[in-house]
Amino acid sequence: MKAITCRRYGPPGVLRLEKLPRPEPGDDEVLIRVRAVEATKGDCELRGFRFAVKWFWLPLRLVMGVRRPRRPVPGGYFAGVVERVGRAVQTLSPGDEVVGCTNLRFGAYAEYLCLPARYPLAPKPAAMSFEAAAALPLGGLNAHHFLKLAGLAAGEHLLVNGAGGSIGAYGIQIAKALGAEVTAVDRGYKADGLKTLGAEHVLDCDRDDFTAGGARFDVVFDMVPGSRYRDCLAVLKPGGRYVIGNPGLGKLLRAAWTSRFGGHRVGAAFAPETREQLEALIALVEDGRISSIVDTVHPLESAAAAHRQVEAERRVGAVVLSIP
């Protein structure tokens, strides 16, 4: 089978297209013919082993591989077709179209992928392309989780800082589905795309200071690792909530103190990736409350170009690799 491999840490050029043996499913596993996979910021960070959030660098290096990646095929969020199932699998059948997450097994930048049947695998929306479906899990699961953690309600005003990435873009849609007002902060060239997603107000992070205009928000949803904690708290209304998608260690420690003594609730818990959560997300799609957000589709062999685009943040939504 064809697969993209990363056999040493480094820039996008370390990614290579190789021929690898097709995996064989165990008794409790499914073999999936991958049709599309999202190229994520996390994929890029693992490839180069350079993280905006640095506190988990050492333990992650020990898990992922000290000198080189232990699992050379990247990719965690995909859509495809079940090819074969193990003898003990009863929840899936050959021919099922699925959306899924590989957790820390990775391996989705390839024509075929084996996963335990208990992993987050859910039916692909019938009317959705594989490319659009692959763009759902990362952004959708995280945005849904953080806005639920914040308790965002109809009529409230939400600030999304870093609104143009996979997670922030879904955050806008989910907030609008809940009946909230949205202010989006990102690069100025993304303004039209963010307004199309439903943001009433768009600020250019290179020119506009969201702390300077006097606006106050019920919820701040922060996806920018380098943002200043005190700035995000300063624009909250009394009793407002602050949720952090990329928390550094300092923010994690301050979040606990603020939630207990500081008059605001701060959430930084990572999103669970479960089948139940994935099915709930897909239900929102099928109800027409949110739609998939794909900026660009690249062929598998252009994985390096996809990584360069993701790292440059020249996108609104997801960058996807297609495997026809």
Q: Which residues share a beta bridge with 217?
A: 236
**Residue 51: is its pLDDT beyond 90?**
no
**Residue 57: is its pLDDT beyond 70?**
no
Would you state the structure tokens that stand for residue 167, as one six-digit string? 């997670």
What is the reported pLDDT for 61? 74
Cα(306)–Cα(308) distance, rounded to whole angstroms?
Answer: 5
**Residue 196: is its pLDDT beyond 80?**
yes
Using 50, 70 and 90 to split pLDDT, how confident is the model at 252? confident
pLDDT tens, 271-312?
Answer: 889 999 999 999 999 999 899 999 999 999 999 999 999 999
Helix residue spans in 216-268 (DSSP H): 229-234, 249-261
Contact 79, 108 (CB under 8 A): no
For residue 314, give every residue at least 6 positions away whose Cβ sits within 8 Å of its Cβ, in sequence order, or none.
Answer: none
Rounded to the nearest 5 degrees, what angle is found at the Cα of 225, between the Cα atoms of 193 and 119?
A: 80
Residue 273: burial class (beta carbons within 10 Å; 0-12, 13-18, 19+):
buried
Q: What's the pTM value of the predicted model, to 2 decimals?
A: 0.91
What is the reported pLDDT for 286? 92
For residue 88, give every residue at least 6 positions away whose Cβ sits within 8 Å of its Cβ, in sequence order, or none.
Answer: 27, 28, 117
- DSSP-derived letter for residue 218 is E
Domains, the chain, in order of start with CATH, read 2-136+292-322 (3.90.180.10), 139-267 (3.40.50.720)
Contact 69, 10 (CB under 8 A): no
The strand ranges marked E within the chain are 2-6, 15-19, 29-39, 77-85, 97-101, 112-116, 121-123, 157-161, 181-186, 201-204, 217-222, 236-244, 265-267, 294-299, 318-322
Would you state the structure tokens that stand for residue 240, as one six-digit string? 């407002």
Share of the chain above pLDDT 70, in %: 98
**Residue 139: is its pLDDT beyond 80?**
yes
